[in-house]
Structure 1
């Protein structure tokens, strides 16, 4: 695992497309029990090198009901975004994750983690990539039907503050789905 993580840290596969240059942000351990697959680091995470080191990460840890210590313990959580580096700015929010990372690295990482009991798929990019044809037409439908993907996958929306409109239109997520997510995480940890 250490060799693989070192290779990833040196990756320049999409360097020409990265406005801030490559800085892969990924954590994993051969003992990881839960894998979090999100989109891509934002500028704050690019600067710090610490995954989910922003407002989105605070909300995600609230949803999971875990402490920072639990969250950043790689024996608990591996954090593998769809794109490992900051992809750049779009009109609203950041650009989509670079498409090179997941096919290049995800399978190799997952093969080295035999103890994974749950993969949390955050946002449409991760859900489409992993759920393929079983993903529903919209993220809302996929998240609403989360039980269809258990026991291995648990789809959730992105916890970004810019996603507050979705959360206000879909209060059932925090009322019904988040407690189930917390229960699953607690059982595994």
Structure 2
């Protein structure tokens, strides 16, 4: 695994497309139990090289009911974005993750994590890539039907503050999905 992670961290495949340069951000161990597949690092994570080191990460940890110490334990959590580098800003937020990363690296990383118990799919990019035709037409419908993807996958909306309106419109998420996420996280991590 260390050799693969080193190869990923030295990847320059997308360099011509990244105005802020390459800085692949990933955290994983062969012992990881829960894999979190996000979108792509934001500008803060690009600077710190620490996955989910922002307000979105704070909310995600709250949803899971865990501390930073638990979250950054590689033997418990693999933190893998769809695109490993910050894609830059678009008109309404960050640009989409670069499409080259997941096909090149994800299967290799997954093959190095034999005892994964849950794969958390955050946002539409991760859900469409992993759930393929079983993903519903909208993120809302996919997340609402989370039970059909368990025990392997758990789809979530992005925990970004930009999604506050979605969270207010979809109160069922905090009432039913978050408790199930917390329960599964606790069961898998044994903390």
CA separation in 2, counterparts of 1:101 and 1:22?
12
1:104-156 deviations in Å (ceiling 9; x for gaps): 00000000011100000000000000000000010000000000001100000
State the match for 1:151 in structure 2: 151
Alpha-carbon distance, 1:176 to partner: 1.0
Alpha-carbon distance, 1:5 to partner: 0.3
**Is 1:19 paired with 2:19?**
yes
CA separation in 1, counterparts of 2:40 and 2:33?
21
Given the two structures, how large is their TM-score scaled by the length of structure 2?
0.98
1:62-84 deviations in Å (ceiling 9; x for gaps): 00001100000000100000000
CA RMSD between the two structures: 0.4
Alpha-carbon distance, 1:175 to partner: 1.2
State the match for 1:185 in structure 2: 185
Runs of 4+ in structure 1 deviating by more than 2 angstroms, as ranges, are none
State the match for 2:80 in structure 1: 80
State the match for 2:43 in structure 1: 43
Query: How many residues end up aligned between the 2 structures?
Result: 189
> Matches of residues 1-189 of structure 1 in structure 2 within 5 Å?
1-189=1-189
Counterpart secondary structure, 2:97: coil
Alpha-carbon distance, 1:88 to partner: 0.8
Alpha-carbon distance, 1:18 to partner: 0.6
CA separation in 2, counterparts of 1:176 and 1:132?
24
Given the two structures, how large is their TM-score scaled by the length of structure 1?
0.99
Counterpart secondary structure, 1:85: coil
Counterpart secondary structure, 1:103: helix
CA separation in 1, counterparts of 2:73 and 2:137?
35
CA separation in 2, counterparts of 1:51 and 1:175?
27
CA separation in 2, counterparts of 1:95 and 1:163?
16
CA separation in 2, counterparts of 1:114 and 1:100?
24
Alpha-carbon distance, 1:19 to partner: 1.1
Counterpart secondary structure, 1:80: strand
1:141-183 deviations in Å (ceiling 9; x for gaps): 0000000001100000000001111111101101111000100
